[in-house]
């Protein structure tokens, strides 16, 4: 679990896997370089064995995404 907020790019997180022997890294902040942002109850089905570094998104995303998901499924959302 990476909770410092300092390591927010894949290249600086990879040494946890390659040098420290960690099997997975979960970042507690949003990482914006293509990493999977997981929100439980919304897109957790995208998790797979090959995902070694992922983020649990931001606190804002974790609060808002489940509500948006329900609204989208029940009423629809137009972009």
Query: What is the per-residue pLDDT across 12-38, written as a single tens digit (0 to 9) for each?
Result: 999 999 999 999 999 988 887 888 888
Please tell me whether residue 3 adopts helix, strand or coil conformation. coil
Residue of 3, 42, 59, 63 marked active site: 59
Q: How long is the chain? A: 79
The answer on pLDDT for 45 being more than 90 is: yes
5: left (phi over 0), alpha (psi -120 to 50) or beta: left
DSSP bridge pairs for 37: 55
Residue 21: predicted pLDDT: 92
Q: How many CA atoms lie within 13 A of 7 on its CB side?
A: 18
- The distance in angstroms from the start CA to the end CA of the chain is 35
Q: Does the active-site annotation cover 20?
A: no
């Amino acid at each position: 679990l990476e909770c410092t907020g300092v390591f927010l790019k894949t290249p600086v997180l990879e040494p946890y896997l390659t040098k420290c022997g960690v099997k997975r890294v979960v970042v507690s902040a949003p990482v914006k370089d293509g990493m999977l942002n997981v929100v439980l109850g919304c897109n957790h089905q995208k998790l797979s064995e090959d995902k070694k570094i992922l983020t649990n998104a931001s606190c804002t995303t974790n609060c808002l995404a489940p509500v948006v998901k329900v609204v989208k499924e029940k009423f629809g959302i137009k972009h």
